Amino acid sequence: MTDKRIPDSTVRRLSLYLRFLGEFEASGVETVSSEALAERGGTTAAQVRKDLSHFGSFGKRGLGYSVGALARELRHILGLGRHWNVALIGAGRIGMALFEYGPFRRRGFHISTVFDNDPEKVGQARGDVTIHGMEELAERLKEGHIDLVILAVPATVAQDVLDDVVRAGVTAVLNYAPTQLRAPEHVALRSVSMLLELEALSYALSRQRSA
């Protein structure tokens, strides 16, 4: 890896390329050109080549990329062959849907600890995991070798919980609370903003209906 500062948009496209390579692989295609990858992703061949060039040299001039080999490289770059130890905070509907979401586990993300502040839930088992109270958060995060925290708590408490998580030394957080959170620069923070997407659609619908 030659460059430490890869743009976010590049990482996002690598994920998409990996998805498309999976589709090509499933339909028996063995080599693919940057043009074909670009077309599937709505970008340009030059962009595909530039994105990949951050990480070294893949493919042969004029021959395109080996679908299988490039997929393996992208999985490696994206850290998808590894095992990540995850704590889930918030055992509500969204949290538990994530807990049982197969694709998380298949990408190496294993939820080993669950926290909730509901006394009725604390102590209950989910699969082979027990739900812990929030008062145990700091200690368990520190001692549990947690790589990533998934925040599935109400928006009103999300920043406070995030601050606790950061203080406990966690450096990667996936946020599902519908709010804008702030974290120090050394923390990788991503938000899945269902409500933002929904509001964008609501906006589009209003426009359509008034057109």
Min CB(190)–its own copies separation in Å: 4
Q: Binding of its own copies at residue 79 (CB under 8 A)?
A: yes
Q: How far separated are the first and last CA of the chain, in Å rounded?
A: 50
Considering the complex, what minimum distance in angstroms separates the CB of residue 66 from its own copies?
21
Question: In sequence order, which residues have a C-beta less than 8 Å from that of residue 177 and are 6 or more positions away?
Answer: 151, 152, 153, 154, 155, 158, 191
Would you call 76 helix, strand, or coil by DSSP?
Answer: helix
Tell me the C-alpha distance between 104 and 180, whole Å. Answer: 23
**Which residue's entry shows tokens 């040299």?**
57
Taken in order 191, 92, 111, 156, is the CA torsion positive or negative? positive
Length of the chain as a residue count: 211
Q: Closer to its own copies by CB, 19 or 60: give it.
A: 19
Q: Minimum Å distance from CB 161 to its own copies?
A: 16
By CB under 8 A, residue 46 contacts its own copies: no
* Residue 27 or 62 with smaller CB distance to its own copies: 27
State which of positions 104-133 bind its own copies (CB under 8 A).
104, 107-109
Min separation Cβ 65 and its own copies, Å: 18
The CA distance from 95 to 101, in Å, is 10
Residue type for 76, please? Answer: H
Strand pairing partners for 149? 87, 173
Q: How far is the CB of 2 from its own copies (least distance, A)?
A: 13
**Binding string, 161-190, against its own copies, x = CB under 8 A?**
----------xxxx---xxx-------x-x
The footprint of its own copies on this chain (CB under 8 A) covers a number of residues equal to 63
- What is the distance between the alpha carbons of residues 23 and 20, in angstroms, rounded to a whole number? 5
Containing 191, the helix (H) or strand (E) segment is strand 188-191
State the Cα–Cα distance between residues 75 and 197, nearest whole angstrom: 27
| Of positions 60, 82, 105, 142, contacts its own copies by CB under 8 A | 82
Q: Which residue of 70, 111, 148, 162 would you call a contact of its own copies, by CB under 8 A?
A: 148
In the complex, minimum distance from the CB of residue 104 to its own copies, in angstroms, rounded to a whole number: 7
Binding site for its own copies (CB under 8 A): 1, 4, 8, 11-12, 14-16, 18-20, 40-42, 77-80, 82, 84, 93-94, 96-98, 100-101, 103-104, 107-109, 147-148, 155, 171-174, 178-180, 188, 190-208, 210
